[in-house]
Chains A and B, each alone.
Chain A
């Protein structure tokens, strides 16, 4: 619930939602005191602006603390100027208007000199054809400049009548000619082609080309657009509201005064309608456009170059959609839904690029998983697979709970329960390559000793389960459908995480436990990956190989199911799973139909370390 002052500030900052606005209006209508409070707060906004603008301008001009009241005493340039304005307001029929204007222009020149002599950044008056008055925008807020603002406004207003010029005279604050339309506002590990680093606030001129080899930089354009470039990337600054992307990828955040920001690529032109969107130019010069927010239009460069009289109809791409143009300029007929892979292709800001969560997702998606569950939904009964969202295939479904505090965002939570055990099972079949039998399962897990102890006590309190269940193997299990027959029950588990009471992580095979003494800290997130490749199962914990063993499962199999969180073996005799389930949290589960390389696994650990380091800060 917002306080009235919070509502007023939100309104004046232009971030008020329609609901908040309605709330504000109701509050204002309650009493005149509320309206006075509103006026008072508005006035405070103006005063802060005034004081800060003054301080900024003083610092820029180097003449801080040297202000002057312009005085219309007799024979001063200011008074001459003012009296002319007054005279022109109600010109006497006996006077010649042309002479008045000439005189006024002389007086204006004198005023300029007067201001220049005193080194006052009060107003600048330029003439090019029709009279154009340029006032530093900030001066509008300054009471001391109000007189000048009024005078020059008035002069400009009256001049057209006297000149009878067809073109209207500019009667507003005019922007300076744009020479440096973009500025560097942020960077991370940026390496440029010439090897020279660029300082923050470096300004770029119109037409300047930039060749970013690696890292990320953010540019702010004069019209307000913020563009994030990720290396390798080649762009050219076209003007204060457009950029040419020659290769690589960028994300533009436009809107407001930056609406209609445009990106030109070798095969297309993309125009913003108030949004955030990413553009990628592939090595083959094709263009891909992903819209994260709002709406953009996509136009083939080829179509624009033709002399066809057909109505130009760009493809409109809305939020959450993407489209592409091939190197020949052929635009995809329809838009498609953005996938997680598309999303992590683009770093939407420097902040996002620096985020370990984004980097981790990007690492996973770059490795092309068959399935990837992030557990970000509130609905524990239906967990979205990020690889193919919205489809039934490969969508996880089970009795897993969701915990707000995951490794990244939320996580699957496995709490003490006798039956049914919390678990997570993939609904569909995971298709593996028919020619090889390789796979990788990876995840982040965090064991919960208290939950484990609670689980053990449940059994100790006499539930109808045989004592054999105290094997203590909490399990992140992968079930091989080929081995699901009862006689092969011992071979079910591809991976087991040992129960808490032994503080071990282990890989359990058909006949033996290995890595018995690998220690891992309780209550902390760990990265674990199990890789099956070339007849060998290898276990990586926190990026390091902790052991491997022969695996005889070499037969070609068409599919695989994954069961996560439940202990592996089903005991027909007892009618129960023979080991205790995992207790704690599991996050970012990914399954691949190939063996991840050691450096891919090391990268995940590196990113994960970054996350834990940030948490400690």
Chain B
């Protein structure tokens, strides 16, 4: 991996996104021995994947999750001067996300399928504490996705690119909703195994 000499100076052209993230993006932790403290934008780039995953895992409505992510971005911007730099920024941002999710849940009491406050806190911690190195993982994932059979690829594209519900996928694919649910589960599990194998093969780490 190329060394990261100074923030925001490296321009990568002609690279895929995964390669970009692997080689050119900001490092896993912001360099501390610099005169200048890392800015909000840089910290957000690091924290955003965990914040996004946490919100998505707690609020199943994709549109609501998008709105919440935007709200968290607004709050972190507005409250950035209150951020205690001795603490990890990701934990702070995930904490804000947790408060926003709780507020969202209170507004949506009719939907019973929400985690309680205590469990939500434990899940927030899990998201905040798991260090992730998205570049190599994404690169491995791209490799694995190329191996997915066309039929399966179509299913996951309907789910993630077209953002269709399983019912809508069922309507369009001549499969029952249970068959769609089961197929997607199998594909994800296969992808997870493939990514692990790829990373192990390349000596990477999860």
Contact = CB atoms under 8 A, between A and B. Distances in A.
A73 B69 contact: no
Contact of A137 (B18, B48, B66, B156): B66
Given A14-B60, A48-B156, A143-B25, A71 B161 contact: no
Given A9-B181, A140-B66, A226-B171, A46 B56 contact: yes
13 contacts: A6-B185, A25-B115, A29-B119, A35-B123, A38-B126, A39-B123, A44-B191, A66-B13, A66-B14, A73-B9, A90-B81, A153-B77, A351-B171
Contacts of B39: 72, 82, 86
B39 to A, nearest CB: 8
Contacts of A65: 14-16
A150 B115 contact: no
Contact of B138 (A18, A35, A50): A50
A145 to B, nearest CB: 10
A137 B160 CA distance: 12
Interface stretch (A52-60, A320-328, A443-451): A52-60
B119 A25 contact: yes
A392 to B, nearest CB: 35
B11 interface: yes
Interface string A50-84: 11111110100000111111111100000000100
Given A137-B66, A226-B168, A144 B21 contact: yes
A317 to B, nearest CB: 21
Contacts of A606: none
Contacts of B185: 5-6, 9-10
Given A42-B57, A89-B78, A15 B15 contact: no
Given A42-B54, A90-B81, A150 B40 contact: yes
A274 to B, nearest CB: 11
Contacts of A351: 171, 174
Interface string B182-206: 0011001101100100000000000
A253 B78 contact: no
Given A42-B56, A46-B49, A146 B44 contact: yes
Interface of B: 8-18, 20-21, 24-25, 39-41, 44-45, 48-50, 52-54, 56-57, 60-61, 63, 66-67, 69-70, 73-74, 76-78, 80-81, 112-113, 115-116, 119, 122-123, 125-127, 130, 132, 134, 137-138, 141-142, 145, 156-157, 159-161, 165-168, 171-172, 174, 177, 181, 184-185, 188-189, 191-192, 195
B96 to A, nearest CB: 13
A103 interface: no
Most chain B CB inside 10 Å of its own CB: which residue of A29, A146, A154, A185: A146
Given A140-B66, A157-B78, 19 more contacts: A9-B185, A14-B61, A15-B181, A16-B113, A35-B123, A39-B54, A39-B123, A49-B160, A52-B156, A55-B145, A68-B11, A72-B39, A73-B9, A144-B17, A144-B21, A157-B74, A253-B167, A256-B165, A349-B171
B66 A54 contact: no
Interface string A128-168: 00000000011011111011011101100100000000000
Contact of B160 (A48, A67, A68, A85): A48
B145 A186 contact: no
A53 B160 contact: yes
B172 A185 contact: yes
A6 to B, nearest CB: 5
Contacts of B11: 68-69, 71
Contacts of A43: 49-50, 53, 127, 130, 132
A28 interface: yes
Q: Which are the 8 A-B pairs with shortest beta-carbon distances?
A: A42-B57, A39-B126, A154-B77, A49-B160, A14-B60, A146-B48, A71-B8, A46-B53
A150 B73 contact: yes
Given A36-B126, A351-B171, A53 B66 contact: no
B111 to A, nearest CB: 10
A64 to B, nearest CB: 7
Contacts, number: 228
Given A44-B188, A140-B66, A172-B67, A39 B171 contact: no
Contacts of A173: 66, 70
Contacts of B145: 48, 51-52, 55
A13 B74 contact: no
Contact of A150 (B20, B67, B77): B77
A153 B184 CA distance: 33
Interface of A: 5-6, 9-16, 18, 21, 25, 28-29, 32, 35-36, 38-56, 58, 64-73, 82, 85-86, 89-90, 137-138, 140-144, 146-147, 149-151, 153-154, 157, 171-173, 185-186, 218, 220, 224, 226, 253, 255-257, 349, 351
A171 B138 contact: no
Nearest to B114: A21
Contact of A47 (B9, B44, B141): B141
B41 to A, nearest CB: 5
Contact of B17 (A54, A71, A72, A256): A54
Nearest to B139: A51
A52 B138 CA distance: 10
Contacts of B14: 65-66
A144 to B, nearest CB: 6
B41 A51 contact: no
A333 B43 CA distance: 63
Contacts of B122: 28, 32, 35
B74 to A, nearest CB: 5
A86 B73 CA distance: 14
A18 B188 contact: no
A576 B113 CA distance: 62
B134 A153 contact: no
A405 to B, nearest CB: 18
Contacts of A220: 168, 172
A172 to B, nearest CB: 6
B188 A46 contact: no
B174 A15 contact: no
Given A13-B184, A43-B53, A46-B49, A67 B9 contact: no
Contact of A142 (B17, B67, B156, B172): B17
B66 to A, nearest CB: 6
B44 A157 contact: no
B2 to A, nearest CB: 12
B138 to A, nearest CB: 6
A5 to B, nearest CB: 7
Contacts of A255: 167
A141 B113 CA distance: 24
Given A43-B53, A82-B41, A12 B112 contact: no
Most chain A CB inside 10 Å of its own CB: which residue of B74, B77, B115: B77
Contacts of A141: 52
B82 to A, nearest CB: 12
A318 to B, nearest CB: 19
Contacts of A21: 112-113
A68 B13 contact: yes
B15 A147 contact: no
B187 to A, nearest CB: 9
Contacts of A224: 165, 168
A151 B165 CA distance: 30
